[in-house]
Amino acid sequence: MELPRLKKSSSSSEVAQALKEAGCVVIERLVSEELMSQVGSELKPFIHSTPFGPDSFTGKKTKRTGSLIARSTSFHELASHPTIVGASREVICQTATTIQIHLTQIIEIGPGSDAQPIHRDQWAWDSFPFPQDWEVEVSTMWALTDFTEENGATRVIPGSHLWEDKLRPSFEETIPAVMPSGSVLLYTGSLYHGGGENSTTESRTGVNVDYSASFLRQEENQYLACPPDVAARIDPDLAKLIGYSRGSYALGYFGDLQDPIEALDTFKDTNNL
Ligand SMILES: O=C(O)CCC(=O)C(=O)O
Ligand SMILES: [Fe+2]
């Protein structure tokens, strides 16, 4: 199966349909290169002070820098892009009533990095065996630099979202998601994939934003990454998407069954925001 490729003008439903069929899809040049380089320059000091990963999964020559909502205002446009959020909602809400941002992470695969082991992102939930027709996560990888086969473009196996669980596919079964800066690769939590090997002398930089069913624990702790004094200053819809809202009917309330967004309203009132 080939990796489906869609245009910037594609609707959320077209993207969701491609995800349901192939488990992955690229939208070419969804945002401008200028926006990507703005995100890159806002995050540069944070990437600079990030240590390399401790093991072969995170990558010993790879840097992973999080808290992107608090650290880069330009990044908000990527995290809340209507085509992406709409498609994620459509795919995940076959099984859940609401979605949330699961993690935000800039991934810089340094020169000489080995390929990452092929995996499913949904294994993060203790490898819980979700039924095959349950999609609980949509991952996105925005190309900040161009993604090439040589510099470590994400490797995917289109169609593998329907494969059995706990397989160990070989690197040879994968293909690289080659795409120019400003493009985005979407893949379900059930798709077998991994970061590629970087045999060039430059870093490959991708912006990874994942969305998940709100009934699952978030991989990046959004309440520490974006505490109330930060969350009160961002767009309320984005604040809701990171978890300052109720998940489903009962999840995430505080105090006397209050909705989390009320905590931000109170914070704004007391601080005249
Ligand atoms: O960096 C990449 O291309 C993929 C990273 C990835 O799959 C992960 O960290 O889970
Ligand atoms: Fe992954």
pLDDT in tens, 31-88: 999 999 999 999 999 999 999 999 999 999 999 999 999 999 999 999 999 999 999 9
Tell whether 241 and 215 lie within a shared domain: no
CA 209 centroid distance within chain: 2
Q: Considering 219, 237, 254, which residue would you say is the last residue of a domain?
A: 219
Pair 159, 23: CB distance under 8 Å = yes
Q: Is the pLDDT of residue 102 over 90?
A: yes
- Among the bound ligands, the one closest to the CA of 185: 1
Q: Which atom of ligand 1 is nearest to the CA of 58?
A: 9
Distance 93 CA to ligand 1 centre (A): 24
Residue 267 has pLDDT above 90, yes or no: no
Q: What is the CATH number of the domain that holds 9?
A: 2.60.120.620
Pair 260, 163 in one domain: no
Same domain, 239 and 197: no
Q: How many domains does the chain have?
A: 2
Same domain, 36 and 138: yes
Task: Encode 202-218: b = buried (16+ Cβ within 10 Å), e = exposed.
Answer: ebbbbbbbbbbbbebeb
Q: Say whether pLDDT at 11 is over 90.
A: yes
Question: Is pLDDT of 100 > 90?
Answer: yes
250 & 192 share domain: no
Nearest-atom index, ligand 1, CA of 154? 3
User: What's the start-to-end Cα distance of the chain, in Å?
Assistant: 51
pLDDT tens string 214-250 = 999 999 999 999 999 999 999 999 999 999 999 988 9
Q: How far apart are alpha carbons 32 and 34 in whole angstroms?
A: 5
Which amino acid residue places its CA nearest to atom 9 of ligand 1? 58
The Å distance, Cα 60 to ligand 1 centre, comes to 13
Q: Which atom of ligand 1 is nearest to the CA of 206?
A: 1
Q: How far is the CA of 175 from the centre of ligand 1 (A)?
A: 14
Residue 181 main-chain phi, psi, to 5 deg: -50, 140
Pocket test for ligand 1, best of 52, 121, 146, 193 (most atoms within 8 A of CB): 193
Residues 211 and 242 grouped into a single domain? no
Token pair belonging to 178? 């080659």
Q: What is the mean pLDDT of residues 163-177?
A: 96
pTM score: 0.98
Expressed in angstroms and rounded, the spacing between residue 129 Cα and the centre of ligand 1 is 21
Among 174, 196, 219, identify where a domain stops: 219
- Looking at 184, 200, 219, the residue that finishes a domain is 219
Pocket of ligand 1 (CB under 6 A): 107, 109, 116, 121, 141, 154, 193-195, 206
pLDDT at 96: 86
Q: How far is it, in rounded angstroms, from Cα 188 to Cα 211?
A: 10
Does one domain contain both 94 and 48? yes
Domain with 230, as residue range(s), is: 226-273
Do 25 and 118 sit in the same domain of this protein? yes
Residue-averaged pLDDT of the chain: 97
pLDDT band with cut points at 50, 70 and 90 for residue 180? very high
What sign does the dihedral 115-120-123-124 (CA atoms) show?
positive
The string of DSSP codes covering 144-185 is: SSPB-TTTTPPEE-TTGGGSPSS----GGG-EE--B-TT-EE
What are the structure tokens assigned to 188, written together? 């379900």
**Same domain for 91 and 114?**
yes
Res 272: pLDDT? 87
pLDDT at 173 over 90: yes
CA of 156 to the centre of ligand 1 (A): 10
Q: Are residues 187 and 260 in the same domain?
A: no
Give me the mean pLDDT over the 245-271 stretch.
92
State CA 81 to chain mean position distance.
Answer: 12
Average confidence (pLDDT) over 196-214 = 98
Do residues 177 and 105 both lie within one domain?
yes
Query: Are 211 and 230 contained in the same domain?
Result: no
- The minimum-distance atom of ligand 1 relative to the CA of 153 is 3
Smallest-distance ligand from the CA of 109: 1
